[in-house]
Structures are given as structure tokens and as C-alpha cells.
């Protein structure tokens, strides 16, 4: 099973971890809802900048 971790891109600093063990992502405009393997939802504003399927990482920016 491949689960991802989401990070907020931080200019001039270390990227901020938002959510781990993501099993589902839904996007509606600039609203991103991530659901982890236990069913907990995390909602953020932003856009998906990139996704690394091999490294299981999602990068979100403004």
C-alpha cells in the first residue's frame, strides 16, 4: 500500500509537513481535502504544485 505525506512549500525555509499516511485527496478550486488511512480529514487552502509518486510526497503551494 502506498500512502503519501503532504508538505506546504515554504520559500526560504524547510517545507512544513501538513498530513501523513494520506490515502485520498480531493481538490475543489483552491481547497484541498486529504484523508488519512484512519479516515481523519485535513483541509487546506492552496494548489498542488507537484506529486512524487516514488517518494510518496505531495507538495502544496499558495
pLDDT tens readout for residues 3-60: 999 999 998 888 999 999 999 999 999 999 999 999 999 999 999 999 999 999 999 9
Torsion angle of the four alpha carbons 44, 47, 50, 56, in this order, in degrees rounded to the nearest 10? 20
Q: How far apart are the first and last CA of the chain?
A: 29
Domain count, the chain: 1
Pairing outcome for strands 57-61 and 47-52 = antiparallel
User: In the numeric block, which cell numbers belong to residue 25?
Assistant: 485527496
Q: Supply the pLDDT for residue 62.
A: 87
The answer to whether residue 1 scores a pLDDT higher than 70 is no
pTM (predicted TM-score): 0.88
**What's the domain range around 20?**
4-61
Distance CA 36, CA 19 (A): 8
Dihedrals φ, ψ of 55, to 5°? -90, 0
Amino acid at each position: 500500500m502506498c500512502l503519501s505525506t503532504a508538505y506546504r512549500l515554504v520559500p526560504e525555509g524547510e517545507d512544513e509537513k501538513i498530513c501523513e499516511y494520506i490515502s485520498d485527496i480531493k481538490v475543489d478550486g483552491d481547497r484541498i481535502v486529504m484523508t488519512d488511512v484512519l479516515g481523519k480529514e485535513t483541509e487546506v487552502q492552496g494548489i498542488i504544485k507537484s506529486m512524487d509518486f516514488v517518494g510518496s510526497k505531495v507538495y502544496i503551494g499558495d
